[in-house]
C-alpha cells in the first residue's frame, strides 16, 4: 500500500506511523511544500496519516510496487488517470469505508482490506 502523507505545515508532525514504512519518498507538491509517499510492504500499521492528495508521480509508483494508493483528493486530470488505471485506489471521502476521519486524515488497514475484498481484489500489500 502507498499512502500519501502530509509533511507541511509543521503542525502535522509527527506523522502517524511513517516510521513503519519500508520506503518513503519525499516529493515537492508545490511551492516548496513536500508530501511523503510511504510504501508499506512488510508491515501495515492500523493507522497512517495524515493522508493528503495524490500527484502525477503516484501513477508511476503504484505499478512499480504493485500497490494500492491511499490518498485524499487530487486534481481532476489526475483523478481521471487514477480512475482509468487498472489498479485500485482508496480515496478518502465522507462516504469512504477505507479511511477514518479524525482531526487529520488517516488510512485504516482494516478498512482498506475490507474495501479491497468487497471489490474482489487481492489483499492489499
Q: What pLDDT, in 10s, does the model give residues 6-16? A: 998 888 888 99
Model's pTM, two decimal places? 0.72
Strands 2-6 and 89-91: unpaired
Q: What pLDDT, in 10s, does the model give residues 18-64? A: 999 999 999 998 888 999 999 999 998 988 888 888 998 898 998 89
- Give residue 104's pLDDT band: very low, low, confident or very high (50, 70, 90): very low
Q: Please name each of the domains of the chain with its CATH number.
A: 2-118 (3.50.90.10)
Strands 69-71 and 23-30: unpaired
Determine the 3-state secondary structure of 64 from DSSP.
Answer: helix
CA triplet 115, 116, 119: central angle to 5 degrees?
A: 90
Amino acid at each position: 500500500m502507498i499512502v500519501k502523507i502530509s509533511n507541511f505545515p509543521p503542525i502535522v508532525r509527527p506523522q502517524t506511523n511513517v516510521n513503519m514504512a519500508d520506503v518513503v519518498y519525499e516529493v515537492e507538491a508545490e511551492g516548496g511544500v513536500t508530501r511523503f509517499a510511504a510504501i508499506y510492504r512488510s508491515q501495515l500499521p492500523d493507522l497512517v496519516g495524515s493522508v493528503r492528495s495524490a500527484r502525477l508521480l503516484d501513477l508511476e509508483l503504484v505499478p512499480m510496487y504493485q500497490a494500492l494508493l491511499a490518498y485524499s483528493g487530487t486534481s481532476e486530470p489526475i483523478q481521471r488517470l487514477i480512475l482509468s488505471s487498472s489498479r485500485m485506489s482508496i480515496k478518502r471521502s465522507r462516504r469512504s469505508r477505507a479511511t477514518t476521519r479524525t482531526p487529520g486524515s488517516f488510512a485504516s488497514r482494516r478498512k482498506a482490506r475490507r474495501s479491497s475484498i468487497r471489490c474482489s481484489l487481492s489483499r492489499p500489500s
